[in-house]
A and B are shown apart, each in its own frame.
With several copies, the nearest count.
Chain A
Amino acid sequence: MTDTNKPVYTFKDFASDQEVRWCPGCDDYVVLRSIQKALPLMNRKKEDFVFVSGIGCSSRFPYYMDTYGIHGIHGRAAALATGIKLANHDLSVWIATGDGDSLAIGGNHFIHLIRRNIDVNLILFNNEIYGLTKGQFSPTSLIGQKTKSSPFGNIQPPFHPGELAIGSGSKFFARVAGGDTKLQQRIFVEAEKFEGAAIIEVMQNCVIFNDGAYDKYTDKAVKSDAQLRVEHGKPMIFGKENNKGLVLEGLKLKVVTIGENGVTEGDILVHNAIDPDPTLHLMLARLEMPIVVGVIRAVPGKTVDELCNLRLAETRAKSPFKSVNDLFASGETYEVK
């Protein structure tokens, strides 16, 4: 829900007076700045934004935003957000959360938030590590990754946030590199417009405990060949020379080069983010090279918070009971004289 007569904000309006305390070089700074720049584009009143988080480096996010905010307890941001949205459907509620926060301890609330399609925007800072507690493996850490709690290398296979989200019924899933502020801003704006739970996975580099985790996708030298940015209605073309693309071969995706082996631009798959069938979205989310960034899935649908409010309003309008007094006096009562 957006109003029309909105004050005009700049990113400074969304910066709180608290000093930002992440490690120098942490991608979290980029995301913070992206949000602060994206909010003014959303045509919403400042007082309607609420930032909610759990615990973790990334979960300090709300403190740095000059909006309403809760720095919650570990893993429970989604549940906080659900309560807020059910209480007041008109707010724009954002969740800042880590891979530990949302996929380890908060896993249950994460999948249920998605199942209910609560109209919030969830930024998943996936650094594949526990930052705040100083470097244990997380549910997205790779097999073999050596961390404080896996000195011999991690043996627990990782979740893939996109697959988990879509498996839980996700209607909106996007991915973006931690340093890519431009794309972040665009995705944030799209997420805000989307009615439902928008899950945005940020491939966030932790310079201290898992530095370089995404280098193969984000290094300047390889970036354009290693990231495929999808856009609804556009062909899935990428590469330094903008001549690579995706085609379907049976039930598998294949990278081809336009101009080679008779492949033309017309052969390249066109992205359909709003297809309710998740099959292709899942393939895109799963693709390892190139990695797919941008809004992979954005299927319109009902949100539980809206349904809840609608039904409330309807029932209320129809009910003969205007006060609990009416209820108390209804049905089987009797007099004592």
Chain B
Amino acid sequence: MTTENTHLEKRSLKNVVIRFVGDSGDGMQLTGTQFSATSALLGNDIATFPNYPSEIRAPQGTVYGVSGFQVHIGESAVHTPGDDVDVLVAMNPAALKTNLSSVPPGKTIIVDTDSFTKKNIAKAGYEENPLLTSQMDPYVVIEAPITSLTLESIKDIGLDKSSADRSKNMFALGMVYWMFSRPLEHTIDFFKKKFKNKPLVIEANIRALKAGYNYAQTLELMPSPFVVLPAKMEPGTYRIINGNTATAWGFMAAAEKSGLELYLGSYPITPASDILHELAKHLHFGVKAFQAEDEIAGVVSTIGASFAGELAITTTSGPGLALKGEAIGLAIMMEMPMVIVNVQRGGPSTGLPTKTEQSDLLQAMYGRNGESPAIVIAASTPENCFDYAFIASKLAVEHMTPVILLTDGYIANGSAPWKIKTVEEMPEIKNRKVTGVEGTYEPYERDPETLARTWAVPGTPGLEHRVGGLEKQDITGNVSMDPENHQHMTKIRQEKVDRVANYIPELEVEGAQEGDLLVVGWGGTYGSLFTAVNSMYENGEKIGLAHFNYINPLPKNTKEIFKRFKKIVVCELNMGQFHMVLTSHFPEFEYYKHNKIQGLPFSVVELMNKFQQILDNK
């Protein structure tokens, strides 16, 4: 139960996974974020995974009130927050209980012994104090009376008990900083800035942090610090960004690049709300972040703003997308540019609102009445949410049609280093606005290549015209119930989306370029899939990864790539939705499926086992 019997050597590790867990009120998210930022500043690559309960502030000490933040730091590129935890910081028994199974034997667990009171132990569902049982034997357990040491360290500054209590996470962080030889400056600066007007709070947190660091340093029982060297990353200026912020920023960049103003019509919903929050901050860039009365008003006002000439987007999660279906159909009929962001979460219905899933793919494809094709694309990492938000805007505006951008709770809340881009280095976006025409304006006249129509915005003299949801006559856009015209227009709307394939990059394979097994994925599972495939590839397997960011239309070379492999496995966090799309497009291939629907990302080990099995069998 103590580390007396374990003899760890001072290790230099390539990658380490650290998980901070405690009560929702214990500040674990902040702790995790600080550790990540400090590590990134040292040049580590990082990937993070916050995991919190759906209650705002669940009763203290309960298992469902446990909030966690996991970070994976590495000296080579890291692509997932990691499967197995190397260091677990558990602030109470409930946190220990719910997280122990993620810690392999031999790994380190730090616990706050002060929190192992009878009451807390019972609340966590333990019969007896787990620290006193043999179940802790396999681990390196570091027991520290964190709460009391924290209180002790700040007792003289005159903070009330509950505020003082709240500094204990910094004590824990201090300990971990020492373990990984991290400097304290970044976090100290953070507090100084954040609580400018609360000197007591600054003081308490800094003291706790230092006390934790010093405690760890002087404590005999503590294993020697780990060393994680800086990762080899492309040179440049970086910042840590999470997927939702990256999404918001991608849209702002697209607005600036295209010379349009950014409009967001949205209704809060987990885990998409942070995009709204972020955009609401940026009035200075002309961003109008309108919180509507519901999802329908959110998307419909977006159509209005698009009609009026803005770069118009709406953001939501699964249930919200369901409500927006009818209006997306209107935008398709009106052929208006707009982006619908769906940050996927666990379904069906309210489902698992704070968990991740990829089960809205078919809804994005088909969740509307009639033949109503939309462009569907998906981001695959926290940082490339920036790129795909940008690309979604570009495609919408240049092809005059709605684009659905899928992300998910996992990449939306996860963070990673982002090599800062500038507007200048982003591709051009040419909007199709017209300011005048010879003769009558024909709103449904099209660019012969993209089949996009033009964008005539109210306020432009001479281009007055009406659009709407009834079938349109070709060219004029007048209402038409003519049978042939309807068939013609239906095909044009489809063709317009199909031709987007000419404007998107071809699919690239990572790992083996041909061979035994092609792993197919899409969206937010990239990190785990890549890590698994890459490590098997490096081990000599003929395995490659084809990860899709473009779902509708599919990249033109998809079939050609599928042909190069003996076996194909489609991996998704759903029951096989992309598998269904692929099968219907390319029925000539046989596909294996690997699906997980637990509200959690894939673990790398699980994937590698699965792939090995497929490679071995048959």
Q: A residues near B, CB below 8 A?
A: 16, 18-24, 45-52, 55, 57, 62-63, 65-76, 78-88, 90-91, 104-105, 107-109, 112, 130-134, 136-137, 139, 148-152, 156, 208-209, 308, 311-312, 315-316, 318-319, 321, 323-325, 327-329, 331-337
Contacts and interface: CB of A to CB of B under 8 A. Distances in A.
B598 to A, nearest CB: 22
Given A79-B296, A107-B293, A112-B293, 20 more contacts: A45-B461, A68-B465, A69-B468, A70-B334, A70-B467, A79-B297, A82-B297, A82-B301, A83-B265, A86-B301, A86-B305, A134-B56, A321-B285, A323-B423, A324-B249, A324-B423, A333-B238, A335-B235, A336-B43, A336-B419
Given A68-B458, A83-B265, A105-B293, A152 B423 contact: no
B458 A48 contact: yes
B284 A315 contact: yes
B98 to A, nearest CB: 15
B304 A81 contact: yes
A316 to B, nearest CB: 5
Nearest to B456: A68
Interface in B312-327: 312, 319, 326-327
A47 B460 CA distance: 6
Given A83-B301, A136-B291, A152-B283, A334 B458 contact: no
A83 B56 contact: no
A87 B285 contact: no
Contact of A84 (B249, B253, B273, B304): B304
Contact of B297 (A22, A109, A333): A109
A68 B441 CA distance: 12
A49 B460 CA distance: 10
Nearest to B467: A70
Contact of A133 (B249, B268, B423): B268
A156 B297 CA distance: 15
B518 interface: no
Contacts of A47: 458-464
Interface of B: 37, 40-41, 43, 54-60, 62, 64-65, 186, 230, 233-240, 249, 252-253, 256, 261, 263, 265, 267-270, 273, 276-277, 280-286, 288-297, 300-310, 312, 319, 326-327, 329-330, 334, 349-350, 417, 419-424, 457-470, 478-479
B270 A75 contact: no
Given A46-B464, A86-B263, A86-B305, A335 B300 contact: no
A108 B297 contact: yes
Contacts of A324: 249, 252-253, 256, 285, 423
A333 B307 contact: no
B350 A335 contact: no
13 contacts: A69-B464, A69-B466, A71-B469, A75-B294, A86-B305, A90-B459, A105-B295, A134-B273, A136-B276, A149-B291, A152-B280, A152-B283, A315-B284
B92 to A, nearest CB: 16
Contacts, number: 282
A133 B270 contact: yes
**Most chain B beta-carbon contacts within 10 A, residue among A73, A78, A109, A136:** A73
Given A50-B458, A79-B301, A148-B277, A328 B466 contact: no
Contact of A87 (B263, B284, B296): B263
A87 B326 CA distance: 22
A88 to B, nearest CB: 5
Contact of B349 (A73, A85, A325): A73
A79 B291 CA distance: 12
A336 B235 contact: yes
A316 B284 contact: yes
B465 A87 contact: no
**Most chain A beta-carbon contacts within 10 A, residue among B40, B234, B292, B319:** B292
A84 B334 CA distance: 15
Contacts of B469: 55, 71-73
> Majority SS of interface residues in chain B?
mixed
B434 to A, nearest CB: 13
Given A19-B59, A87-B261, A312 B283 contact: yes
Contact of A55 (B297, B327, B350, B458): B350
A90 B261 CA distance: 15
Given A70-B468, A83-B305, A327 B458 contact: no
Q: A-B pairs with the 9 shortest C-beta distances?
A: A83-B304, A71-B468, A319-B284, A83-B301, A87-B308, A79-B300, A23-B57, A105-B294, A69-B466
B238 A84 contact: no
Nearest to A311: B283
Contacts of A134: 56, 270, 273
B303 A327 contact: no
A139 B293 contact: yes
Nearest to A57: B56
Contact of A73 (B284, B289, B327): B327
Nearest to B37: A332
Contacts of B269: 133
B482 to A, nearest CB: 15
Contacts of B293: 104-105, 107-109, 112, 139
Nearest to B293: A112
Contact of A24 (B40, B57, B286): B57
A19 B37 CA distance: 36
Contacts of B265: 83
Contacts of A336: 43, 230, 233-238, 417, 419
A75 B267 CA distance: 12
Contacts of A79: 292, 296-297, 300-301, 304
Contacts of A18: 478-479
B270 to A, nearest CB: 6
A58 to B, nearest CB: 12
**Most chain A beta-carbon contacts within 10 A, residue among B59, B458, B467:** B458
A151 B282 CA distance: 10
B5 to A, nearest CB: 38
A331 B302 CA distance: 31
A330 to B, nearest CB: 9
Contacts of B468: 62-63, 69-72
Contacts of B288: 86-87, 308, 312
Contacts of B54: 132
A333 B459 CA distance: 42
A20 B469 CA distance: 18
A91 B308 contact: yes
Contact of B350 (A73, A108, A312): A73
Nearest to A315: B283
Contacts of B319: 73-74
Contacts of A88: 308-309, 457-459
Contact of B273 (A112, A149, A209): A149
B444 to A, nearest CB: 14
Contacts of B62: 19, 21
Given A23-B56, A335-B237, A76 B280 contact: no
**Most chain B beta-carbon contacts within 10 A, residue among A46, A65, A136, A321:** A136
A137 B252 CA distance: 23
Given A48-B458, A76-B296, A109-B297, A131 B56 contact: yes
A292 B466 CA distance: 35
A66 B466 CA distance: 8
A24 B423 contact: no
Given A112-B297, A149-B277, A76 B327 contact: yes
A272 to B, nearest CB: 31
B240 A108 contact: no
Given A72-B300, A73-B330, A332-B240, A136 B273 contact: yes
Contact of A80 (B230, B285, B304, B466): B304
Contacts of A137: 291
Nearest to B239: A333
A162 to B, nearest CB: 19
Contact of B280 (A16, A80, A150, A316): A150
Given A47-B461, A137-B291, A328 B305 contact: no
